[in-house]
Amino acid sequence: MIRYTKILRNSNIKGKITITEVAENVPNGKQSDLWYSKVAKSAQDLNSVNKIETLLEQDATITNLNPLIEPVPVDDLEKVSQSNSMKKRKYDFLKVIHRPASISKKERMNGVNNLNSGDRFLCSAPLSQFTSPSILNYKKYQQMQERAKEAFTDMRFVKMRTGKGGDGNISFDPSPTLKGPASGGDGGKGGDIYIQADENITSLSHINAVYQTSSGESGQSNQCDGKSGGNILIKVPVGTHIRLAIPPPVIKKALVENGVDLNDENMLRRALNAYTVKMKCLSHEMIDVEPEYYMLHRNKPKINDTWKFQAGYSYSENPEEIYRVEPRFKAIRSDFRAYDFKLSLNEIGVDKFPIMGLELNKPFEKPLLMLKGGTAGLGNMHFKINGVRNPIFAKRGRQGIEASFIFELKLLADLGLVGLPNAGKSTLLGAISNAKPRVGHWEFTTLVPTLGTVLMPPGSPSFTVSDIPGIIEGASENKGLGLEFLKHIENSSGIVFVIGMDRQDPTGDLKVLIRELNIHGIKNIERALVVCNKCDLDSDAYGIQEKFKAVEEFVSNQNLQVKDMLRKRKDAPEDIDSDVFWNTIPISAKNHQNTQLLKRYMSALVFDKKTNKKRKVLE
């Protein structure tokens, strides 16, 4: 029986890709001869062996486990941080490290196999992409979670490690006189780690800090393979964003050594935006001019250090003794360079992670591979080939891989409620949806995001609304609860500003909210609804009518500005003049006054009136 193992299935590898046939059980040497002939042919056609080996060694210099972090002087943190915040791309292209030579048509026809691992790029990205103040200064974040007394967690730092492959076995069938045929089985493969978005999960609270799969067991005699390591499946909520992370101790060391006070969160945020990290990147399978993946690091053995020998024999101490016992091993060892190179390149093909991260915005049935376990080693049953009498050797299993990630949950709500503390957002959400948020007469009643579904009359689709903790002026400087929760409205179709008419200057409060959102990166909001809450208060005592007119005038000007901005676009909508992009409405959430009209206004913010489809998310 033949097991077809695709040794090369890598989008970054160019050249002739072949499938190596590996016999699962070996009743005779015919199948092994066929397999070995292909391995030997690959070795003959292999070009630039020394260059490939040098490149694999260079891959271990700058890795995700020990990246090159470039600091910035403390006095320049604010200036450099602001400059990096204005960049549209998440990374800077620095240089091409390696670009494979092309294969001529004549060489390709002659079967030349110029194996390589594709283009290599060196890129630079802000340190803030690989960590978060909440992770580096977890004490404040943990206190906030405990204060909320709710099992809601929207961020986790996760370390993953996969098991190594088991070694191949060296054994022979028993014989009354001479040594019997080779019968050593293959090792088991190391366990993989998978990720899957599940709509039945709503928090990251169940996510562990460390996930490690077991290693494969060594092969057994009688052509029995070793047991493979168990896989791990991590289920996360829909809306989870996963990005590559650098271990906190590495980052803290770089920050402290350069004078950054980790307890000063304002300085810490500026440093994370100003510091840069150099990482090796790989290109996409069809586009070789643009980096798309961060390159992850897996320890790879030396090409000539992948063999395992029967007890009592050592290649490093006495290779001549092995050649004496099995004269053909010298040729086999040389030919198997191609096999080992292919394994290394195949590992590079899977050991990568998207620069932009993973956005798990919808549930999917098939789990997604995060990290792959080590490949199993081959038992000596595969080397029962023509002319080989004593295969006292087998292949070792390959190493697993280690990487760290940040899991960040972004609620997938159609609309996001944004307002100052005690503006009545939670009361409003409870009045229009099925949610039962925490309500009180003190500031920062809402400590964690709350999601509610707004049901509409028959024939009209429902939609979801998220309520996040209140934002105060200076939130970008870490005042109040900061801007940590604004990520939950990044995937919304529009913003609903909630302002309290009991405040002295509601229009000024609205400007504060817009300014803080701009600092966070939510700019040029095309569609918004301004809800003037608490309009049931005494009009004369609070000046409700005058305040509402001021808000109306400001919203009208915002509406005109958005229309002017859209007219300058090439893809400007046809009905700009008749459409309403910014609107306002007076309500009393406590007394449920005008809430039905509010729901229709909010529905118009979510759904396009022509197509009845949801509008695109905020940019």
- Which 8-state DSSP code applies to residue 62? S
- 416 lies in the same domain as 280: no
Residue 353 lies in a domain: yes
- 379 lies in the same domain as 435: no
Q: 234-252: per-residue pLDDT in tens?
A: 999 888 999 999 999 999 9
- 294 lies in the same domain as 213: yes
Q: Which residue matches tokens 């198997």?
A: 336
Range of the domain at 46: 2-408
Backbone phi, psi, residue 255, to 5°:
-70, -50
In angstroms, the Cα distances linking 40 to 33, 35, 79 are 10, 9, 59
Collapsed DSSP state (helix, strand, coil) of residue 449:
coil
Across 555-568, average pLDDT: 89
Across 19-38, average pLDDT: 64
- 307 lies in the same domain as 386: yes
Task: Reply yes or no on whether the pLDDT at 286 is more than 60.
Answer: no
- 484 lies in the same domain as 523: yes
Task: Reply yes or no on whether the pLDDT at 281 is more than 80.
Answer: yes
Instruction: Specify the pLDDT at position 142.
Output: 61
- Judged by average pLDDT, the poorest of 143-157, 500-514, 595-609 is 143-157
Compute the distance between CA of residue 18 and CA of residue 89 in angstroms, rounded to an integer. 38
- 134 lies in the same domain as 8: yes
Compute the distance between CA of residue 471 and CA of residue 492 in angstroms, rounded to an integer. 18
- 401 lies in the same domain as 431: no
Compute the distance between CA of residue 130 and CA of residue 405 in angstroms, rounded to an integer. 8
Helix/strand/coil percent split, the chain, to 5:
30, 20, 50
Across 491-498, average pLDDT: 85
Compute the distance between CA of residue 469 and CA of residue 519 in angstroms, rounded to an integer. 17
- The residues near 286 (Cβ < 8 Å, ≥ 6 apart) are none
Residue 173 lies in a domain: yes
Burial of 99 (0-12, 13-18, 19+ CB in 10 A): middle
- 377 lies in the same domain as 419: no
Q: What percent of the chain has pLDDT over 90?
A: 31
Domain end residue (candidates: 408, 439, 473): 408
**Of residues 12 and 541, which shows the higher confidence score?**
541
Domain end residue (candidates: 382, 408, 434): 408
- 158 lies in the same domain as 57: yes
Q: 121-177: per-residue pLDDT in tens?
A: 888 899 989 998 888 876 665 655 554 445 567 788 999 999 999 999 999 988 765
Task: Quote the tokens at residue 182.
Answer: 């080779």
Rounded to two decimals, the pTM is: 0.80
- 104 lies in the same domain as 225: yes
How many domains does the chain contain in total? 2
- Judged by average pLDDT, the poorest of 23-27, 294-298, 541-545 is 23-27
User: How many Å separate Cα 538 from the centre of its chain?
Assistant: 52
Residue 334 lies in a domain: yes
**Of residues 608 and 199, which shows the higher confidence score?**
199
Instruction: Specify the pLDDT at position 484.
Output: 63
Across 436-464, average pLDDT: 69
Residue 614 lies in a domain: no
Backbone phi, psi, residue 168, to 5°:
-70, 155
Residue 495 lies in a domain: yes
Q: What is the CATH number of the domain that holds 511?
A: 3.40.50.300
Burial of 129 (0-12, 13-18, 19+ CB in 10 A): buried
Task: Reply yes or no on whether the pLDDT at 196 is more than 90.
Answer: yes
- Judged by average pLDDT, the poorest of 74-83, 286-295, 462-471 is 286-295
In DSSP notation, 351-403 reads SEEETT-EEE-S--SSPEEEEPPPPPPPPGGGG--TT-S---EEEPPPP--EE
- 395 lies in the same domain as 424: no
Confidence class for position 437, pLDDT limits 50, 70, 90: low
Pairing state between β 402-409 and 463-467? unpaired
Residue 617 lies in a domain: no
Best CA proximity match to 451, nearest among 488, 497, 493: 488
Across 210-221, average pLDDT: 96
Compute the distance between CA of residue 339 and CA of residue 46 in angstroms, rounded to an integer. 10
Instruction: Specify the pLDDT at position 474.
Output: 54
- 399 lies in the same domain as 416: no
Q: Which sign does the torsion angle of CA 202, 372, 404, 11 carry?
A: negative
Domain end residue (candidates: 393, 408, 423): 408
Task: Reply yes or no on whether the pLDDT at 445 is more than 50.
Answer: no
Looking at every residue in the chain, the average pLDDT score rounds to 80
Q: What is the CATH number of the domain that holds 366?
A: 2.70.210.12
Helices (H), 29-159: 30-45, 49-58, 77-85, 105-109, 133-136, 138-148
Residues forming a β-bridge with 307: 395
Residue 385 lies in a domain: yes
Residue 580 lies in a domain: yes
